[in-house]
């Protein structure tokens, strides 16, 4: 890693490139390069098209980059002093800011036309690194509790009364679960099926912090975290993990998804799953509610963010900032959200709570409410991937009863702490060798 920093310093010292303030082409417009991570489609983003139509001084040139190559391409462009002016990414902001790959936006935030309170608080917090802002959130995914109303009726449950507590969920799950010749044929709830970890949600609801106030000491053995894992184990309702996993082997994608196919009655899913239901089982009779909580605690969720940033060495910072401001405006986010084939959830609170957005689906109000009770999954920004790798491995050892929750979490805590210490040491080294680039 030190070689990367050394490389940046050598290039900065040797290569002197004289540039004009703005890259003005023959049409007298400032042309800015916008890189965005693309999926199967490489369509020009709606916001870029509309921005180009909305004014005549800046023109956005769009370049899609594949997810599996975006990190290499962007870092290479920065090292070669030919970065884009704007990027839209989805990985953790501190990971990029710590590498000095992004421009510090603190000076841009004094802009009277920009209001950071327009974003969900959790998403705005994710844009920070070491007390400064390096990106602006644009989209996210909001999680809520999905349940099959027809299965509820068949199990003798009120389809208009989803479980509000984890204890109620356990009882509902028992009534929904069916076995045929001793093997599961339907199940109420599976804690380890889906993208949002039940144990993590439970820990958040119980008030677990996972670290000390300075963010330098790992605390996975917090009693609240241990309680969350014990509570998750109880949600299997006496079925072994092996038995449940064997049943999950019959699940697939699309119409074979566990919830869409009616093999599982309740799940925590994100707002984009609505599109999957429309596509693969439009007749599915389902409801969406707040994620269950413990008695005396409020519901909690977790998510991450797509975000805009200005890479280090960008030629047209001011023009890039104008484009970013435009993209996260309430009216633009609303128009873009409604035009998407897959419904990403807007980071702008006004957009998500507007009548135009809410009427798109009966559950949007629930997703908005969950976003207001959301905590970030970014616990240790410098070692985000390490944390979640070790958390997941500890969870597996607990679920398979290889270790007690305390022993599994203690083992994970030790590994995470070791990695965190090294990451902090390296970050201090980088800070001593390479300053941040500020917006100006």
Give residue-wise pLDDT tens across range 314-361: 999 999 999 999 999 999 999 998 888 777 899 999 999 999 999 988
Classify 259 as helix, strand or coil.
coil
CA 45 to chain CA centroid, Å, is: 20
Return the bridge partners of 186, or none. Answer: 178
Given a cut of 90, whether residue 266 has pLDDT beyond it is yes
Residue whose pair of structure tokens reads 């030190």 in the numeric block: 2
Q: CA neighbours within 13 Å on the CB side: how many for 54?
A: 13
Given a cut of 90, whether residue 311 has pLDDT beyond it is yes
The reported pLDDT for the residue numbered 369 is: 96
* pTM, entire model: 0.90
Enter the DSSP assignment of 195. S
Classify 203 as helix, strand or coil.
helix
The reported pLDDT for the residue numbered 267 is: 98
β-strand pairing of 301-303 with 374-376: parallel
Classify 45 as helix, strand or coil.
coil
The reported pLDDT for the residue numbered 143 is: 97
d(CA 418, CA 406): 18
The reported pLDDT for the residue numbered 363 is: 94
Nearest-Å Rg of the Cα atoms of the chain is: 24
430 Cβ partners below 8 Å, 6+ apart? 5, 98, 99, 100
d(CA 77, CA 82): 5
User: Cα-Cα-Cα-Cα dihedral of 9, 14, 18, 23, to 10°?
Assistant: -50
- Stretch among 62-71, 294-303, 307-316, 380-389 having the lowest mean pLDDT: 62-71
Task: Find the length of the chain.
Answer: 440
Task: Write phi, then psi, for 184 (nearest 5 degrees).
Answer: -60, 135
Contact 141, 344 (CB under 8 A): yes
CA-to-CA separations, 346 to 52, 350, 375, 387, in angstroms, rounded:
21, 9, 16, 27
- Rounded average pLDDT over 144-154: 98
Enter the DSSP assignment of 22. S
The reported pLDDT for the residue numbered 132 is: 96
Percent of the chain at pLDDT above 70?
93
- How does pLDDT run across 127-137, given as a tens digit for each residue? 999 999 999 99
Query: How sure is the predictor about 42, in pLDDT bands with cuts at 50, 70 and 90?
Result: low
CA-to-CA separations, 233 to 146, 237, 267, in angstroms, rounded:
21, 8, 16
What domains can you pick out in the chain, each with its CATH number? Answer: 2-141+304-377 (3.40.190.10), 143-302+380-419 (3.40.190.10)
What spatial distance separates the first Cα and last Cα of the chain, rounded to whole Å? Answer: 28
Contact 389, 315 (CB under 8 A): no
Taking all residues of the chain, what is their mean pLDDT, rounded to a whole number? 91
Classify 188 as helix, strand or coil.
coil
d(CA 275, CA 255): 12
């Amino acid at each position: 890693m030190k070689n990367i920093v050394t490389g940046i310093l050598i290039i900065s010292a040797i290569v002197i490139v004289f540039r004009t303030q703005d890259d003005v082409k023959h049409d007298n417009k400032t042309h800015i390069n916008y890189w965005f991570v693309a999926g199967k489609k490489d369509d020009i983003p709606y916001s870029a098209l509309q921005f180009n139509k909305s004014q005549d001084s800046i023109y956005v040139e769009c370049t899609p980059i594949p997810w599996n190559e975006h990190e290499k391409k962007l870092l290479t462009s920065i090292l070669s002093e030919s970065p884009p002016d704007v990027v839209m990414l989805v990985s953790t902001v501190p990971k990029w800011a710590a590498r000095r790959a992004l421009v510090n936006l603190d000076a841009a935030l004094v802009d009277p036309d920009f209001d950071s309170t327009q974003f969900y608080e959790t998403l705005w917090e994710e844009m920070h690194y070491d007390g400064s802002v390096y990106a602006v959130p644009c989209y996210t995914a909001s999680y809520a509790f999905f349940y099959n109303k027809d299965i509820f009726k068949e199990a003798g449950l009120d389809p208009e009364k989803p479980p509000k507590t984890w204890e109620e969920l356990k009882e509902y799950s028992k009534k929904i679960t069916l076995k045929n010749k001793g093997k599961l044929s339907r199940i109420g709830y599976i804690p380890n099926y889906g993208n949002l970890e039940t144990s993590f949600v439970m820990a958040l609801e119980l008030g677990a912090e996972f670290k000390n106030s300075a963010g330098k000491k790992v605390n996975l053995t917090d009693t609240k975290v241990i309680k969350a894992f014990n509570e998750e184990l109880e949600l299997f309702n006496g079925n072994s993990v092996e038995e449940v996993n064997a049943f999950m082997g019959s699940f697939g994608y699309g119409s074979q998804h566990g919830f869409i196919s009616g093999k599982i009655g309740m799940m925590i899913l994100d707002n984009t799953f609505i599109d999957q239901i429309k596509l693969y089982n439009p007749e599915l009779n389902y409801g969406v509610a707040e994620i269950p909580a413990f008695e005396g605690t409020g519901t909690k969720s977790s998510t991450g963010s797509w975000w805009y940033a200005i890479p280090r060495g960008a030629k047209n910072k001011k023009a890039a900032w104008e484009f970013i401001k435009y993209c996260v405006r309430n009216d633009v986010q609303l128009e873009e959200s409604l035009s998407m084939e897959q419904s990403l959830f807007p980071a702008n609170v006004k957009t998500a709570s507007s009548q135009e957005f809410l009427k798109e689906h009966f559950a949007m109000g629930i997703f908005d409410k969950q976003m207001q009770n959301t905590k970030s999954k970014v616990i240790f920004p410098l070692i985000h991937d390490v944390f979640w790798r070790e958390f997941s491995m500890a969870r597996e050892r607990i679920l398979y009863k290889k270790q007690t929750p305390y022993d599994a979490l203690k083992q994970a805590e030790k590994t995470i702490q070791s990695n965190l210490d090294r990451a902090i040491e390296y970050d201090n080294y980088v800070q001593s060798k390479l300053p941040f680039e500020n917006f100006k």
